[in-house]
Amino acid sequence: MDGASEIDFGQGSCTLVCADSAAEAWQGTLVLRNFKSGGANRLFVGSAATLTPDQLARITSPAGQPVKQLDSGEVILVPPGTVFSLR
């Protein structure tokens, strides 16, 4: 991923499945607009928790809310005030 990118999940339900890109160098950022993780919207990157800490740090909500990747490969927003560790 190069440059600033956005995915707009819109107002409906959406599941987006992307190929594993852990081996790719990311130079840009990814903003997830209208993303409500764990419910109406689901984003999977690969089939396991393979994104690097640097890649995860480049994915946020418009308000700057960080994400984490579950063992299933699903990317979710980290609720405010939550402490988590990156692998």
Residues of the chain with pLDDT under 50: none
Burial class from Cβ neighbours inside 10 Å (0-12, 13-18, 19+) for residue 27 reads: exposed
In the block, which residue shows the tokens 């903003």?
31
Beta-carbon contacts of residue 50 (< 8 Å; ≥ 6 apart): 20, 22, 69, 73
The reported pTM is 0.82
- What pLDDT sits at residue 85? 67
